[in-house]
Chains A and B, each alone.
Chain A
């Protein structure tokens, strides 16, 4: 079958009589799909990375005519080797919701009205210019996403930082991965993991730190289970604050009280040293010790500022610092028995066991997120279990291109594609590649995400353009930020594919091309860059986010910086972008290689991928005879002295429960895509509040009963779930955030890690009431 120019399917020739489903549930009928003319044999399979999480599975999308009709896992992709999860298998259905936005909309007399796209883009450009003129360049902002394609983020950075000259560029990865980044930078000096998914096939022990992998990274979890089945001796330890599917599949489930992971990690190191399990060769050669500031605050007030300061210490001072963290002391804070702490330490300490630690939002969405990242690295560094197959501290990513776009392109206020705005050399490099005067690039970072939305509320920011994210569901302490966005003289531009609560506050809606409707790149958790081809046509006036930004940039007079043609712009932008990373520490693969393969890991040097960084055997940038942590000026990895400090808000007599929020297997983030997939919505049609059975019993709450969850900031009334998929311990409730009908973020607190500025969605105090 030739696919050079596919004919448009005008008649879908539906088999009208879809068989009535004879299900075992009376009253629920599931009709078969509408059938196209083509038979199954007529499907053409094309590769793409999955649209959803940071795992970065390779998919093969089945195309018939101009429609995506099926999915299978790509057997050639080393990430998933042919397997997907339920979201991946049904991912192509996100293209076909009936309420898909295909035309530009402009708010006129309070209502969003269909408008020619060119007119809407003119308005966006004009508003940008007017706002800059009346309120200055720092009154305009762009808020993007870890679901941005790499080229989207790159042109956004070039326009805002290089051309307009403001550092008001942030992305939702600040809410998701910022602590992982600062963790990497403080411990190793360079962002992103040293290891890769191959570690799963080599490890003997897996410890998941506050990480429900069975639901959030299911394909990697399956790979872990397969490793355990085939080897027999492999152990999976779930270390978490609530019992989940991961706990149930694990060999051991160890629960700790929220925030006390800091104390337990230190106690593990205490035990490693006490038993002399320290790998002295490694530590003497490759590790140095440092301490930073303590009692660092929580950022709940406007204009909060914090700058950490590293101070060199020696091993004896580190040992002295750990003296408070005996297993017995930590048992009292954490609720983890001293025996279990010793058990965890013995797993890290056993020289014959290869250990992988996994974490994601539990450690990152944490008011001491940077610290807990540092502390888990400490556990690995003390015993030298790092940068080798099967020995890996591994920070999992939430979004498909949080690494590729936000972290590597640097779409954060302080970042540039290479380096940071504060350094003159980095500004010079950017100005040269971007063809702009170096004075254009402001050396001062402006607002991180929470502060950016506070600035919007205060009126310091007047214009904001949001792409590929839904902040009116995801911002913590949401009431304040929605009020800000709705204020009369704020201008909100929203690039969207479906109506959402963020769309509801928009003054202009730009119709975006989605995933396989356009060409682009993602970058997954394991430094893998993945090219995504356009597989089906864009509907209506839809346009890629990259091209929307280019159109606006040209209207602002930056034709010289945005010269590309619509036929080749993705390739041209890639070739420009990779100049920023042209060193053995970060070299990216060329366009043609990426187009041909199911993802390539950087550094890509002399045609070779790098699976394990900082290890001389695998990493072309590493020098010496075994390991080389070249990210830090002293060429060592840093062990940090980070104490336990309590959460920003803890339960008290008035608000006696911890509120924990998160995701579930079936829904992607705020559900704007997955709720339009029939099977995913029917599997979990609405959000709920998980309550411990004993708490429910005491309060007379039964399954399905409506309960009011309220904090000092807001409240939500929703159904109780008891003995459901997850089980919180006594004194904690858990609410998934995917459902826009139950905005749990009106209840959460906008406290953040002072180093990473990432909010803590896992801990605040609430009360429960029957309604």
Chain B
């Protein structure tokens, strides 16, 4: 009696072990192939989701990819005036200020320089980094200028550019004065020799920018709904 029951236990154990051996690689494989990044890119195409700042992932990934030399470098070539002169309003996609080859690949080629930055020998400049390298069809939004004159004059006007350094207290971290959609990756524009000097941060090694700098959004002051 004892023997047979032991045999039974042994058999069950064997089957269980066999199953484990079969399923283990599957579990491991599926764990490795499950990447949250993959899932979000399929659903949130193009958009920086509104909750993207929760993880600050884009910032860290970009930050890790930059060399020490790049982080420390300074380019005096670009000014804030020049930066805004490429735009039609704060936050509009800037035009391409240099020659681009046609026929072009509608995508990717721009990213060779603008995904990570670096020195352009042809233009004698440090390349600015795009805050949204996941967008491949760059020239869908950024176009090169081939003409100089307007077709007819325009009455276009937009709001003033954001003022810098508006700390609430002396020495306090200033708030983020611009929209974050498509521009949520702080490191891209505020760090490195490609950045505009006036908005370049002095402490890039902190990494998690939005721990201290919060968006300055246009909301009414908090007022308690006094029901008591």
Contact = CB atoms under 8 A, between A and B. Distances in A.
A39 B145 contact: no
Contacts, number: 261
Contacts of B41: 226, 229-230
B21 interface: no
Interface stretch (A69-77, A113-121, A579-587, A590-598): A69-77
B143 interface: yes
Contact of A15 (B38, B160, B179): B160
B218 interface: yes
A656 interface: no
A33 B157 contact: yes
Interface in A670-685: 671, 675-685
A82 B48 contact: yes
B84 A32 contact: yes
Chain A's interface size range is: 35 or more
A99 B152 contact: yes
A243 B103 contact: yes
A27 B147 CA distance: 10
B147 A248 contact: no
A682 B147 contact: yes
Interface in A1-45: 1, 12, 14-15, 19-25, 27-28, 30-44
B78 to A, nearest CB: 9
A225 interface: yes
B140 A85 contact: yes
Residue among A21, A23, A222, A727 facing the most chain B CB atoms (10 A cut-off): A222
A219 interface: yes
Interface string B137-154: 101111111111111111
Interface string A447-476: 000000000000000000000000000000
Contacts of A724: 102-103
Contacts of A25: 97, 145
B161 A40 contact: yes
A246 interface: yes
A665 to B, nearest CB: 7
Chain A contact residues: over half helix, strand or loop, or mixed? mixed
Interface stretch (A90-98, A346-354, A610-618, A635-643): A90-98
A271 interface: no
B60 interface: no
B137 A70 contact: no
Given A1-B218, A73-B181, A679-B143, A89 B49 contact: no
Contact of A83 (B46, B90, B97, B139): B46
**Considering residues B145, B146, B151, which has the most beta carbons from chain A within 10 angstroms of its beta carbon?**
B151
Interface in A715-756: 723-727
Interface string B73-93: 000000101101111111111
10 contacts: A40-B159, A41-B162, A67-B157, A73-B46, A81-B46, A82-B181, A222-B136, A229-B134, A229-B136, A678-B88
Given A32-B161, A230-B38, A248-B105, 10 more contacts: A30-B145, A36-B157, A42-B159, A64-B158, A70-B89, A75-B47, A90-B88, A222-B140, A684-B146, A725-B104
Interface of B: 38, 41-50, 79, 81-82, 84-93, 95, 97-98, 102-107, 123, 134-137, 139-163, 177-179, 181-182, 216-218
- 5 interchain residue pairs of minimum CB distance: A82-B47, A685-B147, A21-B85, A19-B81, A83-B46
